[in-house]
Structure 1
Amino acid sequence: MITGLLAATLLYAHPAQLDCPLAEMTAAERTALEQVIVEQRPNTDPRTQSVHRVAQLCAGRFDWPPDATGRATGYVFVAVAVDLARRRLVAHGIDVASLERRLAADQGLQDVSADLNAARAAALGFVERNRRYMMSLAGPQSRQSEEKLTMMGIYIASRFAMASIRSWFADR
Protein backbone atom coordinates (compact mmCIF):
# COMPACT_ATOMS: atom_id res chain seq x y z
CA MET A 1 0.00 0.00 0.00
CA ILE A 2 2.41 2.73 1.17
CA THR A 3 5.67 0.89 0.65
CA GLY A 4 6.05 1.83 -2.98
CA LEU A 5 5.36 5.53 -2.51
CA LEU A 6 8.03 8.14 -2.14
CA ALA A 7 8.10 9.72 1.29
CA ALA A 8 7.64 13.13 -0.30
CA THR A 9 4.22 12.15 -1.63
CA LEU A 10 2.95 11.29 1.85
CA LEU A 11 2.83 14.94 2.91
CA TYR A 12 0.57 15.18 5.96
CA ALA A 13 -0.80 11.70 5.58
CA HIS A 14 1.82 9.50 7.18
CA PRO A 15 -0.04 7.25 9.65
CA ALA A 16 2.71 7.65 12.25
CA GLN A 17 1.67 11.29 12.58
CA LEU A 18 -1.53 10.08 14.25
CA ASP A 19 0.48 9.41 17.39
CA CYS A 20 1.39 13.09 17.69
CA PRO A 21 -1.77 14.22 19.52
CA LEU A 22 -1.56 11.30 21.95
CA ALA A 23 2.08 12.09 22.68
CA GLU A 24 1.25 15.77 23.31
CA MET A 25 -1.45 15.06 25.91
CA THR A 26 -0.55 15.21 29.57
CA ALA A 27 -1.46 12.42 31.99
CA ALA A 28 -4.09 14.69 33.54
CA GLU A 29 -5.64 15.41 30.13
CA ARG A 30 -5.78 11.68 29.33
CA THR A 31 -7.41 10.97 32.69
CA ALA A 32 -10.02 13.67 32.05
CA LEU A 33 -10.72 12.23 28.60
CA GLU A 34 -11.09 8.74 30.08
CA GLN A 35 -13.67 10.13 32.49
CA VAL A 36 -15.60 11.68 29.58
CA ILE A 37 -15.57 8.30 27.84
CA VAL A 38 -16.70 6.45 30.98
CA GLU A 39 -19.51 8.95 31.50
CA GLN A 40 -20.41 8.71 27.79
CA ARG A 41 -20.37 12.48 27.47
CA PRO A 42 -20.30 14.19 24.06
CA ASN A 43 -17.02 15.29 22.51
CA THR A 44 -18.13 18.87 23.19
CA ASP A 45 -17.65 18.32 26.94
CA PRO A 46 -15.20 20.99 28.20
CA ARG A 47 -12.84 18.23 29.36
CA THR A 48 -12.22 17.32 25.71
CA GLN A 49 -10.74 20.70 24.82
CA SER A 50 -7.24 19.29 25.27
CA VAL A 51 -7.91 16.78 22.47
CA HIS A 52 -8.82 19.57 20.11
CA ARG A 53 -5.84 21.64 21.28
CA VAL A 54 -3.27 18.87 20.69
CA ALA A 55 -4.83 17.96 17.35
CA GLN A 56 -4.50 21.59 16.25
CA LEU A 57 -0.92 21.69 17.51
CA CYS A 58 -0.04 18.61 15.46
CA ALA A 59 -1.99 19.92 12.48
CA GLY A 60 0.23 22.99 12.51
CA ARG A 61 3.36 20.90 12.91
CA PHE A 62 2.49 18.59 10.00
CA ASP A 63 0.44 21.02 7.89
CA TRP A 64 -2.73 18.91 8.05
CA PRO A 65 -5.89 20.10 6.32
CA PRO A 66 -9.10 20.28 8.40
CA ASP A 67 -10.31 16.79 7.43
CA ALA A 68 -7.05 15.23 8.65
CA THR A 69 -7.26 17.21 11.88
CA GLY A 70 -10.79 15.94 12.45
CA ARG A 71 -9.74 12.34 11.84
CA ALA A 72 -6.77 12.74 14.17
CA THR A 73 -9.10 14.08 16.86
CA GLY A 74 -11.34 11.03 16.44
CA TYR A 75 -8.28 8.80 16.60
CA VAL A 76 -7.36 10.21 20.01
CA PHE A 77 -10.83 9.37 21.34
CA VAL A 78 -10.76 5.77 20.08
CA ALA A 79 -7.12 5.19 21.08
CA VAL A 80 -7.87 6.30 24.64
CA ALA A 81 -11.05 4.17 24.63
CA VAL A 82 -9.00 1.12 23.53
CA ASP A 83 -6.47 1.69 26.30
CA LEU A 84 -9.20 2.20 28.90
CA ALA A 85 -11.13 -0.89 27.74
CA ARG A 86 -7.93 -2.96 27.70
CA ARG A 87 -7.12 -2.04 31.30
CA ARG A 88 -10.67 -2.76 32.43
CA LEU A 89 -10.73 -6.12 30.65
CA VAL A 90 -7.42 -7.11 32.25
CA ALA A 91 -8.76 -6.04 35.65
CA HIS A 92 -11.74 -8.37 35.06
CA GLY A 93 -9.42 -11.26 34.23
CA ILE A 94 -9.92 -11.23 30.46
CA ASP A 95 -6.99 -12.54 28.41
CA VAL A 96 -6.61 -9.48 26.18
CA ALA A 97 -3.52 -10.95 24.48
CA SER A 98 -5.68 -13.85 23.30
CA LEU A 99 -8.32 -11.43 22.03
CA GLU A 100 -5.60 -9.44 20.23
CA ARG A 101 -4.32 -12.60 18.54
CA ARG A 102 -7.86 -13.35 17.42
CA LEU A 103 -8.21 -9.82 16.05
CA ALA A 104 -4.83 -9.99 14.29
CA ALA A 105 -5.79 -13.25 12.60
CA ASP A 106 -9.18 -11.93 11.44
CA GLN A 107 -9.29 -10.93 7.80
CA GLY A 108 -11.96 -8.34 8.56
CA LEU A 109 -9.52 -6.21 10.53
CA GLN A 110 -6.83 -6.66 7.89
CA ASP A 111 -9.21 -5.46 5.17
CA VAL A 112 -10.69 -2.52 7.06
CA SER A 113 -11.01 0.56 4.89
CA ALA A 114 -10.96 4.27 5.54
CA ASP A 115 -14.78 4.21 5.55
CA LEU A 116 -15.84 4.31 9.22
CA ASN A 117 -19.25 2.78 8.42
CA ALA A 118 -17.51 -0.17 6.77
CA ALA A 119 -15.25 -0.44 9.83
CA ARG A 120 -18.32 -0.59 12.10
CA ALA A 121 -19.80 -3.32 9.93
CA ALA A 122 -16.50 -5.22 10.01
CA ALA A 123 -16.40 -4.95 13.82
CA LEU A 124 -19.95 -6.31 14.05
CA GLY A 125 -18.95 -9.13 11.70
CA PHE A 126 -16.01 -9.98 13.95
CA VAL A 127 -18.29 -10.09 16.99
CA GLU A 128 -20.77 -12.34 15.17
CA ARG A 129 -18.02 -14.72 13.98
CA ASN A 130 -16.48 -14.84 17.44
CA ARG A 131 -19.53 -14.70 19.70
CA ARG A 132 -18.87 -18.09 21.35
CA TYR A 133 -15.23 -17.28 21.90
CA MET A 134 -16.09 -13.94 23.50
CA MET A 135 -18.71 -15.58 25.73
CA SER A 136 -16.12 -18.12 26.87
CA LEU A 137 -13.79 -15.26 27.83
CA ALA A 138 -16.58 -13.50 29.74
CA GLY A 139 -17.51 -16.58 31.79
CA PRO A 140 -20.89 -17.82 32.99
CA GLN A 141 -23.81 -15.55 32.26
CA SER A 142 -24.17 -12.91 34.94
CA ARG A 143 -24.27 -9.15 35.29
CA GLN A 144 -20.46 -9.17 35.41
CA SER A 145 -20.16 -11.26 32.24
CA GLU A 146 -22.50 -8.83 30.46
CA GLU A 147 -20.23 -5.96 31.52
CA LYS A 148 -17.21 -7.88 30.21
CA LEU A 149 -18.96 -8.51 26.87
CA THR A 150 -19.87 -4.82 26.62
CA MET A 151 -16.27 -3.81 27.35
CA MET A 152 -15.01 -6.32 24.74
CA GLY A 153 -17.45 -4.80 22.24
CA ILE A 154 -16.13 -1.30 22.96
CA TYR A 155 -12.57 -2.56 22.66
CA ILE A 156 -13.23 -4.32 19.35
CA ALA A 157 -15.23 -1.45 17.81
CA SER A 158 -12.51 1.02 18.84
CA ARG A 159 -9.75 -1.17 17.41
CA PHE A 160 -11.57 -1.31 14.06
CA ALA A 161 -12.12 2.47 14.15
CA MET A 162 -8.40 3.00 14.82
CA ALA A 163 -7.52 0.78 11.85
CA SER A 164 -9.97 2.69 9.66
CA ILE A 165 -8.51 6.08 10.58
CA ARG A 166 -4.97 4.78 10.03
CA SER A 167 -6.09 3.51 6.62
CA TRP A 168 -7.61 6.91 5.80
CA PHE A 169 -4.29 8.60 6.64
CA ALA A 170 -2.33 6.03 4.63
CA ASP A 171 -4.54 6.54 1.58
CA ARG A 172 -3.96 10.30 1.47
Structure 2
Amino acid sequence: MSLDRPVTPDPYPLLPSVPSFDVTSTDVTVGQPLKDDQVNAAGDTSAQLSWSGAPEGTQSYVVTCFDPDAPTVSGFWHWVAVDLPADVTSLETGAGAGDDSLPGGAFHVRNDGGGHAFMGAAPPEGDQMHRYFFVIHAVSKPTLGVDADASPAVVGFNLAFKTLGRAVLHGTYQH
Protein backbone atom coordinates (compact mmCIF):
# COMPACT_ATOMS: atom_id res chain seq x y z
CA MET A 1 0.00 0.00 0.00
CA SER A 2 1.31 3.43 -0.88
CA LEU A 3 0.77 6.43 1.37
CA ASP A 4 1.09 8.81 -1.59
CA ARG A 5 -1.76 11.29 -1.39
CA PRO A 6 -2.38 15.00 -1.80
CA VAL A 7 -1.40 17.40 0.97
CA THR A 8 -4.40 18.10 3.19
CA PRO A 9 -5.37 21.78 3.37
CA ASP A 10 -4.86 23.83 6.52
CA PRO A 11 -8.18 23.05 8.27
CA TYR A 12 -8.56 26.28 10.23
CA PRO A 13 -9.49 28.62 7.35
CA LEU A 14 -12.28 26.13 6.57
CA LEU A 15 -13.97 26.82 9.93
CA PRO A 16 -16.27 29.77 10.63
CA SER A 17 -14.21 32.95 10.61
CA VAL A 18 -13.26 34.37 14.02
CA PRO A 19 -10.69 36.98 15.03
CA SER A 20 -7.14 35.80 15.48
CA PHE A 21 -4.85 36.56 18.40
CA ASP A 22 -1.19 35.87 19.16
CA VAL A 23 0.45 32.62 20.25
CA THR A 24 4.17 32.06 20.71
CA SER A 25 6.30 29.18 21.92
CA THR A 26 9.81 28.60 23.12
CA ASP A 27 9.47 25.03 21.81
CA VAL A 28 7.73 25.38 18.42
CA THR A 29 9.01 27.50 15.55
CA VAL A 30 6.45 28.16 12.82
CA GLY A 31 6.86 25.70 9.96
CA GLN A 32 9.97 24.06 11.47
CA PRO A 33 10.48 20.52 12.80
CA LEU A 34 9.28 19.81 16.33
CA LYS A 35 11.84 19.18 19.04
CA ASP A 36 12.69 15.55 19.77
CA ASP A 37 10.83 15.51 23.10
CA GLN A 38 7.61 16.47 21.28
CA VAL A 39 7.80 13.19 19.36
CA ASN A 40 5.91 10.12 20.58
CA ALA A 41 8.97 7.86 20.56
CA ALA A 42 11.12 10.40 22.40
CA GLY A 43 9.05 11.85 25.21
CA ASP A 44 5.46 12.93 24.48
CA THR A 45 6.25 16.33 26.00
CA SER A 46 3.81 19.11 25.15
CA ALA A 47 5.20 22.41 23.93
CA GLN A 48 5.40 25.62 25.94
CA LEU A 49 2.71 28.02 24.69
CA SER A 50 1.97 31.67 25.53
CA TRP A 51 -0.86 33.74 24.13
CA SER A 52 -2.12 37.32 24.24
CA GLY A 53 -4.73 39.55 22.67
CA ALA A 54 -7.72 37.22 23.07
CA PRO A 55 -11.05 38.83 22.20
CA GLU A 56 -13.12 40.72 24.77
CA GLY A 57 -15.53 38.35 26.49
CA THR A 58 -13.19 35.35 26.60
CA GLN A 59 -14.23 33.23 29.59
CA SER A 60 -12.03 30.15 29.06
CA TYR A 61 -9.66 28.49 26.61
CA VAL A 62 -9.30 25.17 24.84
CA VAL A 63 -5.83 24.12 23.66
CA THR A 64 -5.47 21.56 20.88
CA CYS A 65 -2.80 19.93 18.76
CA PHE A 66 -4.03 18.49 15.46
CA ASP A 67 -2.26 16.70 12.59
CA PRO A 68 -4.34 17.05 9.41
CA ASP A 69 -1.76 15.05 7.44
CA ALA A 70 -2.39 11.69 9.14
CA PRO A 71 -3.43 9.04 6.59
CA THR A 72 -7.06 9.12 7.74
CA VAL A 73 -10.08 11.16 6.63
CA SER A 74 -10.27 12.73 10.10
CA GLY A 75 -6.62 13.63 10.73
CA PHE A 76 -5.21 12.86 14.19
CA TRP A 77 -5.83 14.71 17.45
CA HIS A 78 -2.70 14.74 19.62
CA TRP A 79 -3.91 17.02 22.41
CA VAL A 80 -7.20 18.47 23.63
CA ALA A 81 -7.13 20.43 26.92
CA VAL A 82 -10.50 21.94 27.87
CA ASP A 83 -11.75 24.64 30.26
CA LEU A 84 -8.51 26.51 30.96
CA PRO A 85 -9.46 29.57 33.04
CA ALA A 86 -9.61 32.93 31.24
CA ASP A 87 -6.76 34.34 33.35
CA VAL A 88 -4.36 31.65 32.11
CA THR A 89 -2.26 32.91 29.20
CA SER A 90 0.49 30.30 29.06
CA LEU A 91 1.26 26.64 29.56
CA GLU A 92 4.74 25.47 30.45
CA THR A 93 6.58 22.69 28.60
CA GLY A 94 5.08 19.40 29.74
CA ALA A 95 1.70 20.80 30.86
CA GLY A 96 0.03 18.17 28.70
CA ALA A 97 1.33 15.31 30.89
CA GLY A 98 -2.02 14.84 32.63
CA ASP A 99 -4.88 16.68 34.30
CA ASP A 100 -2.83 17.43 37.40
CA SER A 101 -0.43 19.48 35.25
CA LEU A 102 -3.20 21.80 33.99
CA PRO A 103 -4.32 24.96 35.83
CA GLY A 104 -7.68 25.48 37.53
CA GLY A 105 -10.37 22.96 36.65
CA ALA A 106 -8.95 22.27 33.18
CA PHE A 107 -8.84 18.68 31.96
CA HIS A 108 -7.91 16.57 28.96
CA VAL A 109 -10.28 14.71 26.68
CA ARG A 110 -8.84 11.64 25.04
CA ASN A 111 -6.50 12.07 22.13
CA ASP A 112 -6.75 9.82 19.08
CA GLY A 113 -4.18 7.50 20.64
CA GLY A 114 -6.64 6.88 23.47
CA GLY A 115 -4.83 8.75 26.26
CA HIS A 116 -5.89 11.75 28.32
CA ALA A 117 -2.68 13.74 27.77
CA PHE A 118 -0.48 15.11 25.00
CA MET A 119 0.67 12.48 22.51
CA GLY A 120 3.76 13.44 20.53
CA ALA A 121 4.22 13.34 16.78
CA ALA A 122 4.06 9.82 15.38
CA PRO A 123 3.63 9.83 11.60
CA PRO A 124 4.14 6.58 9.69
CA GLU A 125 7.76 5.96 8.73
CA GLY A 126 8.50 7.30 5.25
CA ASP A 127 5.28 9.30 5.05
CA GLN A 128 5.13 12.89 3.83
CA MET A 129 5.90 15.81 6.13
CA HIS A 130 3.18 16.19 8.78
CA ARG A 131 2.03 19.52 10.24
CA TYR A 132 1.13 19.83 13.92
CA PHE A 133 -1.26 22.72 14.59
CA PHE A 134 -1.13 24.00 18.17
CA VAL A 135 -4.27 26.11 18.56
CA ILE A 136 -5.59 28.24 21.40
CA HIS A 137 -9.36 28.67 21.17
CA ALA A 138 -10.84 31.61 23.11
CA VAL A 139 -14.22 30.43 24.41
CA SER A 140 -17.30 32.55 25.19
CA LYS A 141 -18.33 30.41 28.20
CA PRO A 142 -16.48 29.49 31.41
CA THR A 143 -16.84 25.83 30.45
CA LEU A 144 -17.17 24.22 27.04
CA GLY A 145 -19.86 21.87 28.36
CA VAL A 146 -18.10 18.54 27.73
CA ASP A 147 -16.48 16.01 30.04
CA ALA A 148 -13.32 13.92 29.82
CA ASP A 149 -15.16 11.18 27.91
CA ALA A 150 -15.90 13.51 24.98
CA SER A 151 -14.19 12.86 21.68
CA PRO A 152 -12.13 15.57 19.98
CA ALA A 153 -14.90 15.77 17.36
CA VAL A 154 -17.46 16.64 20.05
CA VAL A 155 -15.08 19.29 21.41
CA GLY A 156 -14.75 20.70 17.89
CA PHE A 157 -18.51 20.73 17.44
CA ASN A 158 -18.95 22.69 20.68
CA LEU A 159 -16.13 25.06 19.69
CA ALA A 160 -17.97 25.87 16.45
CA PHE A 161 -20.63 27.65 18.54
CA LYS A 162 -18.51 29.06 21.38
CA THR A 163 -15.22 30.21 19.82
CA LEU A 164 -14.59 33.96 19.99
CA GLY A 165 -11.06 33.83 18.57
CA ARG A 166 -8.30 31.48 17.54
CA ALA A 167 -4.50 31.62 17.78
CA VAL A 168 -2.64 29.14 15.54
CA LEU A 169 0.98 27.97 15.51
CA HIS A 170 2.29 24.94 13.63
CA GLY A 171 5.41 22.85 13.57
CA THR A 172 6.29 19.88 11.38
CA TYR A 173 7.70 16.38 11.70
CA GLN A 174 8.64 13.57 9.33
CA HIS A 175 9.78 10.12 10.41
Say which one has the larger Rg: 1
Q: Normalising to structure 1: TM-score of the pair?
A: 0.29
Q: Normalising to structure 2: TM-score of the pair?
A: 0.29
